[in-house]
Chain A
Amino acid sequence: MEKHKIQYETIRFNLNGEDVERTVDVRASLTDLLRNDFRMTSVKKGCEVGECGACNVLIDGEAFNSCIYLAVWAQGKRVRTLEGLLGPNGELSDIQQAFVDEAAIQCGFCTPGFLLTAVEILESGKEYTDEELRKLLSGHLCRCTGYENILRAVKKTMYRRLGKV
């Protein structure tokens, strides 16, 4: 086999509100970096080809499938994972509680990804119709729940945050 030198780069970024620095193998995906270096195991490895949304994180406020994003690209970015949604003593955020209340979780594998897309939706401050919400949530596969409860959890939290309940 051809001898191959591993190429590293040092990057700085903000992870869930904290400035961090790491030297990373340029071949790593952001999923690899978050799981292996930071133990952010909410970031799931599902398909690893951008289809399922299990690895979804927020980068500068937008939802990205981290499995098709190079770790070195995180340089200078603000990255948020599910771990960053918890309160200081591990309290659940409103959207997480809504997923629990609506039974929007069964095995839980798709849940972190869905929650971060939900955060992007909620933080837009807009009110969406059911049809719009379905489209906004369509980048995630759930093999358990049938989606209706997930839709309901996001919708209820949206109305609550807009002061409409």
Chain B
Amino acid sequence: MYDMKALYQAKSVKDAVALRLAHPEAQIIAGGSDVLVQMREGKRAGAELISIQALDEIRGVSMEEDGTLRIGSLTSFSHITRDPLIQKYINVLGEAVDQVGGPQIRNIGTIGGNTCNGVTSADSASTLFAWDAVVELTGPEGVRRQPIQEFYIKAGKVDLREGEIQTAILIPKESYERCFGHYIKYAMRNAMDIATLGTSVNVRLSADKKTVERARVAFGVAGPVPLRAGTAEKAAAGQPLTMDLADRFAQAVKEDIHPRDSWRAAKDFRLHIAVESAKRAFIESVRLAGGAF
């Protein structure tokens, strides 16, 4: 038995918002792979829960009329990886979430939970940062959209306001068009391990594949929340594609990241793997985009 005070099961998004307003103390539970573990550990003991598990309306991936890719917040990791739209437009996200935990966790865990927990090591987060994802929140006043970078306030805290739930993650067309990316999860084990560092890079090349039009890079566990490395991105934008550029791009990430010492890894080690991962992920992204050095 879980140490739970009460459970309210939402029947629709509207119902979930009403339950949030009626029970401001209650916590949302989606797949439960964070919430139930923390309840078992005592961190959330005695809490009231609002379950959104049954809201099929926010499950699945679809394409909106203007070309925006919509990922319902309740979509599980395994469904994201298998989804044809994801594979076609942002395959790196499917690959990144295919590295979460193990197979059962990927059937249980949702992308909404992975972003609303505000955790820097979340395997989807660095890729969502690197692709300028937009978070859709539904609350008493309706729907609001917010760039994912602004959604994260601090470690473990995101901008979820009174009565709100996250209903989707959106990837605008301008963000994914002609972009190819690669994610590297650096962890101590191949499965069932949290990232020591997560690196997600994507590039858009010119038509002749000789120039980097745009390169974006984001990290998890390089700071209290996931972050973009703007200096590196500026160093690469509009530059001719050379191996030297890959090096300069990778070295520049050191200007932007602030990893810390933890029991998982020392700060210097994280800096080292950040540079190396950025370089490897850049090279692989270029290869996927059809470029050659």
Smallest beta-carbon distance B53→chain A, Å? 5
Asked whether B66 is an interface residue with its Cβ less than 8 Å from the other chain, the reply is no
Give chain B residues whose Cβ lies under 8 Å from the Cβ of A50. 33, 36-37, 101, 104-105, 108
Asked whether A164 is an interface residue with its Cβ less than 8 Å from the other chain, the reply is no
Asked whether B57 is an interface residue with its Cβ less than 8 Å from the other chain, the reply is no
Which of the residues B2, B7, B105 comes within 8 Å of A29, measured between beta carbons? B2
Of A20-28, A103-111, A155-163, the one contacting chain B is A20-28
Smallest beta-carbon distance A146→chain B, Å? 16
B107 close to A72 (CB less than 8 A): no
Give chain B residues whose Cβ lies under 8 Å from the Cβ of A25. 1
Asked whether B265 is an interface residue with its Cβ less than 8 Å from the other chain, the reply is no
A62 close to B40 (CB less than 8 A): no
CA distance A27 to B78 in the complex (A): 27
Instruction: Give the interface SS of chain B, mostly helix, strand, loop or mixed.
Output: mixed
Question: Contact mask A49-70 → B, CB, 8 Å, 1/0?
Answer: 1110100100000111100111
Within 8 A of B (CB), among A40-98: 48-51, 53, 56, 62-65, 68-70, 72-73, 75
B36 close to A139 (CB less than 8 A): no
Asked whether B146 is an interface residue with its Cβ less than 8 Å from the other chain, the reply is no
Q: CB-nearest residue of chain B relative to A140?
A: B102
B4 close to A63 (CB less than 8 A): no
Smallest beta-carbon distance B33→chain A, Å? 6
Known: A25-B1, A62-B78, A138-B190. A72 touches B9 (CB 8 A): yes
Known: A62-B78, A65-B104, A70-B51. A26 touches B191 (CB 8 A): no
Which of the residues B2, B51, B105, B191 comes within 8 Å of A27, measured between beta carbons? B2
Smallest beta-carbon distance B251→chain A, Å? 33
B104 close to A70 (CB less than 8 A): no
Smallest beta-carbon distance A117→chain B, Å? 6
Give chain B residues whose Cβ lies under 8 Å from the Cβ of A48. 40
Chain B residues in the interface with A (C-beta under 8 A): 1-7, 9, 29, 32-33, 36-37, 40-41, 51, 53-54, 78, 101-105, 107-108, 190-192
Chain A residues in the interface with B (C-beta under 8 A): 4, 7, 9, 25-29, 32, 48-51, 53, 56, 62-65, 68-70, 72-73, 75, 117, 120, 135-140
Known: A64-B104, A65-B105, A139-B191. 16 other contacts (CB 8 A): A9-B9, A27-B3, A29-B36, A48-B40, A49-B37, A49-B40, A50-B33, A53-B102, A62-B78, A63-B103, A70-B32, A72-B7, A73-B51, A139-B101, A139-B104, A140-B102
